[in-house]
Structure 1
Amino acid sequence: MQKFFKYLSFLKKKLNTTNKVLFFMSFITLSLIGFFLGLVVDIYLPWNFIFNTIRCLVVLYVSTVLFSFTFSIVTEIKQRYDKRFKFEWLKDLSFKQRTNLSIIIAGVCIILFVLTIKVNSVYYTFVAGLLFSLFIWLIYFMKPTVDEIEAMYAGEEDMRD
């Protein structure tokens, strides 16, 4: 989890120190590469154990790029339009409530994915990358605040539960 937060701070630092247009264009390019790579993998590779491992690697690439891109966009919007934003949306729900909400959202999305996407479709890998990117967002949404971490170590109950 620490590596995840280090990566998020790296993204924020890059967003603030580099040319923003070039930064976002690189993510758009990487997203398009992931989309076309997913199409090529789904069209030309058969569905078996070895090639499904390759699909999994493409899904990991696509989800990381899409999460990074959307996280950078959200960070830029928050910096530009809401200067005083400091995790106020985390204060509405407790850590346990955010965890339960994330589990419900993940379950619903998995069910929708299984019901709507055919296994042999040409966009299966890219949509799986979108789904996995959503899971990364849910992990980010669940993260405890500093006050919640201190309360957990002290053994205090959250009043919002």
Structure 2
Amino acid sequence: MSKATRATGALAAAGAAFTVHTYDYDPNADRIGLQAADALGEPPERVLKTLMALVDGKPVCAILPSDREVAMKKLAAAIGGKAAAMMKPADAERMTGYKVGGISPFGQARRVPTVIEAAALDQPFVYINGGQRGLQVRIDPADAAHILDARVAPISAEMRSG
């Protein structure tokens, strides 16, 4: 596995302090973010997932703890929109230039508005996908928000079981 991706290149170019971590990606996991947290031996609130959504038909990147779900109304409100929906996986791959399971908010093919769950900034560090399945970058969440020029807002809800 290459540890040099567009994501790690973008972080290096931004002068970010980060480390790269690999884990055994399980394509059959029910919840990829939770599988990553377990594989890294980290609590799920510290391992963030990157989701691509549409707010009023326009692409948006949402970053939130792996044990949470996006609250679509909150995401739309954070961007100043009315309605949000998840982007289809094939569209997310085309938009970002990354494969599902390896979508990073850093170094995407096209820059889109990004929102980070406010609770993530309570963590001393977080893990965010590094642009490849099984690759995470460990970074200060405030640095990630700054590099991404992200809005910080409460956009998540507790994950439903089942």
TM-score (norm 2): 0.24
**Structure of greater relative contact order (alpha carbons < 8 Å, 6+ residues apart):** 1
Give the helix-richer structure, 1 or 2: 1
Asked which structure has the greater CA Rg, the reply is: 1
TM-score (norm 1): 0.24
